[in-house]
Every structure is written in C-alpha cells, then in structure tokens.
Amino acid sequence: MTGADLDRVVLAFEPGSLAVLNVVLALVMVGVALDLRPADFASVLRHPRAAVVGLLGQVVVLPALTFALVSVLDLPASVALGMILVAACPGGNMSNFITHLARGNTELSVTMTAIGTVLAVVTTPLNLAFWSSMSADTAALVRAVELSSRELVTTVLAVLGAPLALGMLIAARRPRLASRLRAPFKLLSLGCLALFIVIGLSRNAATLADHWALLCGVVALHNAAALLSGWLVARTAGLPGRDRRAIAIEVGIQNAGLAMVLAFDFFPGLGGTAMIAAWWGVWHLIAGLSLAFVWRRRALREEDAQAQATTT
C-alpha cells in the first residue's frame, strides 16, 4: 500500500466498542479530577507566569507547529488530520506522574492539566476546525464527514467536562472517599484505556504492518517536536529548570484517549487519523518515561547552585 491508500482504509471497530471507549475515557477523567482542588486553580492567580507560558505552548504553539510539520512533510490527508487532532487535545493525565519522575514542577503540571482540560471544551474544537481548514486536503476530509461544531463541543463536554465536574465534586464533598478511590480508580481506568488501545491496534495489525514506518516515524517526530517546543517556550520565557521540564512534558504528553474518541466519533474508522491517535497513546508514554529517567539522573542548575552555596 502507498501512503495515499491509508486515506481510504477503514479500521475494524465494532460500534459497541465506541461506547465503551467513551465510558473508559470518562472514567479516566473522573480519576484525574479526584486529584484536583480549587487550590490548583488558585495557584495560577498567585503565580500565573509559568502556567500561562505552558498553556500557550500547549494551546497555541503545538497546533501551529503541527500544521508546519504537516505542510513540510506532505503527508497523506488522514495522517495529517490525525496529527492536528492530537495537537488540538489537552495534556494527558500521565503527565503529572512523568513530571514528578523527571524532578520537574509537579504542582505546575497538575495546574496545567487541570486548566488545559477545562479549556479544552473550547480550545479542542476551535483548534481542530481552524488548523484542519488551513490545508485543502484535510479540509476536504472534514467537509466529507460534515463535521458539526455543536456535536464536537457536546462530545468534548460529555467525555471531559461532566466527568471532571463529577470528580471535583466528589473530592470537595467527600474527601475521604476521594482519597480511597484515587489510586485504584486511576490504575483501573488507565489499565482499561491501555487495554483498549492494545486491542484496537492488534485488530488492525495488518494496516499497521503495511504502514508502520510512516505511522511510527511520524508519531515519533511529532512527539519529539512537541516535547522540544514545550521546553523551548519555557526556556525563552526564562523559566527555571523545574518549570521547563514540567512544561515540556505537559506539551509532549497528549490526551490520546480523547483523540481516539473524536477520531471514531467524527471520522469513523478513517485509517490514518485513528492509527495516529492510537499509536500516540503508546509512543508518548515510551518517550515521556524515557526522557523522565534521563532527567531524573541529571541535576538541575539551580540544584547545583544550591549545593555549591551550601558547601561554601
């Protein structure tokens, strides 16, 4: 198969599976919200600079960079649309754990995840609609499925907004219950999402095998560009090392589960779009954890300076 053939591939995906995927992602979002508190949002008001820089990197820089990559690489339309879709989604919930592992600013990571996910109700549909319309090929795909902005916003509200509100309500009203649910809920929901992605990829192994070099190469390049852009945005803003690490990881770890839901809801089984979203769900964890282990072994400059000041 050629790259163009991927635009005509329809992935094997049972209709009932989509409902399961929506429920699984909603459960993941409830688990994320159990960790959120009003103080997470209030911290932005006290120290807004790092969070604003990070969110600009997530919401503005990454989608624009993605469009530039799509234009330069001259990719099949469905692959390009998948990349734009992933870039339009908010940060993934594993970013907080990876940031902690990398010795980054975990509080900043949690704040960005919380606010970015809430903003995604608006920013995801806007970025997807705007950047897909900038290319004739992706615009044609969007027109072909008659993408409805109202339905898109409704879906994002259902799988992000409502579960977040429920999780935060439980955390605020029943803190003891939230504390007991937090760890098992997160493990169960993430396990289910990972299993879903693995099953989806295995059922479409032939398609992945035919296009593995293109799909894997594009996702690896896109993810590396996302991580690097987050770090560069933070560095350009003059933020300290812990903040740079947190922002790089937040921009590079996307909510691939949401991308999969939107891919199958609005671009039913479209080969390149769905495969990019699914493979992102695997690759960004591999790349993020690898980077975290490297950074964990490297002291930050401010830590070195503090150590020198202590010994002198």
Q: Let me know if 158 is exposed, middle or buried by CB neighbors in 10 A (0-12, 13-18, 19+).
A: middle
How far does the chain reach from its first CA to its final CA, in angstroms?
Answer: 65
Residue 28 has pLDDT above 80, yes or no: no
pLDDT reported for residue 308:
47
Q: Measured on CA atoms in the order 124, 129, 131, 137, is the torsion positive or negative?
A: positive
Q: Are 58 and 249 in contact (CB under 8 A)?
A: no
The answer, yes or no, to whether residue 310 has pLDDT greater than 50, is: no
What's the mean pLDDT when you consider all of the chain?
79
Q: Note the pLDDT tens digit of each residue in 135-176.
A: 888 888 777 665 666 777 777 777 777 887 888 888 888 888
C-alpha distances in angstroms, 165 versus 14, 27, 108, 218, 224? 29, 12, 20, 35, 32
- Mean pLDDT score, 264-272: 72
C-beta separation of 226 from 65 below 8 A? yes
Mean pLDDT of 253-262: 83
Q: How far apart are the C-alpha atoms of 246 and 101, rounded to whole Å?
A: 10
pLDDT-derived band at 2 (thresholds 50, 70, 90) equals very low
Classify residue 61 by its DSSP letter.
Answer: I
Question: Which parts of 157-270 fold into alpha helices (H)?
Answer: 162-173, 175-203, 205-236, 241-252, 256-266
Rg of the chain taking only CA atoms, in angstroms? 19
Which helix (H) or strand (E) covers residue 79, if one does?
Answer: helix 77-88
State the pLDDT at residue 37: 67
Cα separation, 261 vs 276, in Å, equals: 13
Architecture of domain 16-307: Up-down Bundle (1.20)
Per-residue pLDDT band for 219 (boundaries 50, 70, 90) equals very high
Would you say 69 and 221 are in contact if contact means Cβ atoms under 8 Å apart? yes
Query: 299: buried, middle or exposed (CB in 10 Å: 19+, 13-18, 0-12)?
Result: middle
CB 112 within 8 A of CB 244: no
Q: Which amino acid is at 147?
A: L
The backbone region for 146, taken as left when phi is positive above 0, alpha when psi lies in -120 to 50, beta otherwise, is left
Provide the residue count of the chain: 312
DSSP state of 299: -
For 25, 114, 115, 250, 297, the CA distances from 33, given in Å and listed in that order, are 12, 8, 11, 17, 30
Closest CA to 92 of 277, 265, 229: 277
